[in-house]
Structure 1
Amino acid sequence: MGGPVPAGPVGAAGQGAQVGDVVGGGRAVGRFTLLTLPEHTAPGLVYIEYSYGSLYLDRKDDLKRYSWMFEQLHADALAPSATSSLIRQVMKELS
């Protein structure tokens, strides 16, 4: 499973955007962006990209599901220093 890629900083009030790649069979099969905003301005939004189009979701159960998915991707991802080490190792092996 691929790790998440931050789309921007998350503010002190928890607003921000996170991007997660959904990987299957060793390749990205979809991407979603979870946009969280202060409750009083908007409830939040999930934007999903597919190879054939895109979709916006704003229902609470969808936001909960994709928040959980992002948490799982984040938990599976390597730490930034480990990611850098892995990239250096692969580059060394390929050269």
Structure 2
Amino acid sequence: MLVLAGELDSGPRPRVAAGIASLFRHAELTVQPGAGHHPRLDVPVRFTRTVAAFLTRWALVGIRGAGHGESGEGRRGRGPCPRSGG
């Protein structure tokens, strides 16, 4: 799960996003510099790169972790994490 917050967002603030991310085992928090409440509109190139990098990492985990379901689907916290390697 990717939790993405804008650095300049006044509600919910990035610390709230960090709290949400902490509830999920393999969540990644990204605070996008220069963005407010709508990171995809405020800094679209950075947003696209961030999301593409996240999806690429998880697609690679799905390929390596194919034993956890077809293409790694159905992992639900049991499969490898791209950030920790396991």
Give me the TM-score of the superposition, normalised by structure 2: 0.30
Q: Report the TM-score when normalising by structure 1.
A: 0.28
Structure with greater strand percent: 1
Larger proportion of helix: 2
Larger radius of gyration: 1
